[in-house]
Every structure is written in C-alpha cells, then in structure tokens.
C-alpha cells in the first residue's frame, strides 16, 4: 500500500489521493474539501481525519486561505444518567 492509497477518513472511506487530487483540482479550502469528498462528515464527525484535512489544505495555498481549520462538532449530545437508567413508566 502506498501513501496515496491510505484511507484518511475511515467513516467515508476517503483516501489521501482523493483528498490531494480534489484539493489541487479545485484549490479547496478545508470546508470545500470536506463538502466535495465527505471527509469529516461521517459518524465520528471528523475526529480522526480533520487534522490531516486541515494540514493538506494549509500546505497547498497559504496566500488564498479563507478558513484555517474545519469546525469541530461532536456528533453526540450529552445525556444524563437519569435518562439512561430511569424508570420508563414514571
């Protein structure tokens, strides 16, 4: 397996090659790259791939950067223990 074949976003199965080719072809910001490839839009919300997507876009075009990093938004909302273990008939 080469560096280009490494899967960066496991949730959406986006490879490094796909990210790199898309970023170069469209001169993408991190947000646009996310929208074009779906990297960072999977179940984990970009927790595993976001740093590499940010690094890739930052290294391509430092002069025309509009957005430095992707927004981090956890996919899970807090829930209380009472909601988890409470009596459903109450």
9-51 pLDDT, tens digit per residue, is: 999 999 999 998 998 898 877 888 888 999 988 888 888 888 8
Q: Is residue 14 part of a domain?
A: yes
In a domain, 90, yes or no: no
Q: What is the pLDDT of residue 12?
A: 93
pLDDT of residue 32: 87
| 65 within some domain | yes
Per-residue pLDDT averaged across 43-69, rounded? 72
pLDDT reported for residue 55: 82
Q: Are strands 14-15 and 7-9 parallel, antiparallel or unpaired?
A: antiparallel
Distance CA 40, CA 4 (A): 18
Instruction: Say how many domains are in the chain.
Output: 1
Residue 81 lies in a domain: yes
Range of 68's domain? Answer: 3-85
Residue 61 near residue 27, CB atoms below 8 Å? yes
73, pLDDT greater than 90: no
């Amino acid at each position: 397996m080469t560096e280009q074949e490494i899967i960066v976003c496991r949730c959406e199965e986006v490879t490094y090659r796909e990210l790199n080719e898309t970023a170069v072809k469209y001169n993408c910001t991190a947000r646009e790259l996310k929208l074009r490839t779906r990297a960072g839009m999977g179940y984990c919300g970009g927790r595993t791939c976001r740093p590499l997507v940010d690094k890739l876009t930052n290294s391509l075009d430092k002069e025309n950067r509009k957005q430095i990093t992707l927004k981090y938004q956890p996919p899970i909302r807090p829930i209380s223990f009472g909601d988890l273990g409470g009596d459903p008939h109450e």
